[in-house]
Amino acid sequence: MTMTICCAVAALFPVLGSGAAEHVGVTAAFKASSKPGTPGAIVVTLAPLNPAIRVNEEPAPRLKLDPDQRTLVDKQPPAPTRLASFDPETARYLDPKAPVSFPVAWAPAAPKGPQTVKGTVTYFYCSKTEGWCRKGTAEVEVALTVPIVQAP
């Protein structure tokens, strides 16, 4: 019989992005699943820094994990091939208070214990008052702890 000893630590990290950093604040954290053996998620908050800025619902924000990391496996469904309109008059927007969740799972050979995982979040945002839409990217970094399994 085995027993899981540790869970994940959810830590928020503010991140810097491209020119979007002046318009959208981005934070990320790891959220462990409440059910053993099921994937957790990286949750990202995209907070407009100006009330005129809104983050688009479509195309949906995407997370790309650093290909060199060996801790997490991306469990996101494939990105749709159809691109949404970037017209600020017709765009739909995310709730700025609700984080976006990106499902992940432990990699089979994940190193046990405390880890840091990096990735890049890509999102689109618009200014309805100024009539423009742009692509934003932000580098994110999350601290987590890979569970340690011990025999009794």
Over the stretch 113-146, which tens digit does the pLDDT of each residue have? 999 999 999 999 998 888 888 999 999 999 999 8
Asked if residue 1 belongs to a domain, the reply is no
Asked if residue 6 belongs to a domain, the reply is no
Whole-model pTM: value is 0.79
Asked if residue 3 belongs to a domain, the reply is no
- The DSSP result for 5-24, as a single string, is --------EE--BSGGGGTE
Q: What's 98's domain CATH number?
A: 2.60.40
pLDDT score for 36:
74
Nearest-angstrom CA–CA distance, 53 and 91: 12
Asked if residue 140 belongs to a domain, the reply is yes
Domain hosting residue 79, numbered range: 15-146
Domain count within the chain: 1
Would you tell me how many other CB atoms lie within 10 Å of the CB of residue 8?
A: 20
Query: What is the tens place of the pLDDT at every residue in 9-18?
Result: 334 444 434 4
Asked if residue 8 belongs to a domain, the reply is no
Asked if residue 152 belongs to a domain, the reply is no
Backbone angles phi, psi at 23, to 5 degrees: -110, -30
Q: Which string of b and e fits 54-65 if b means at least 16 CB within 10 Å?
A: bbbeebbbbbeb
Burial of 141: CB neighbours in 10 Å, binned 0-12, 13-18, 19+: middle
Backbone angles phi, psi at 20, to 5 degrees: -65, -20
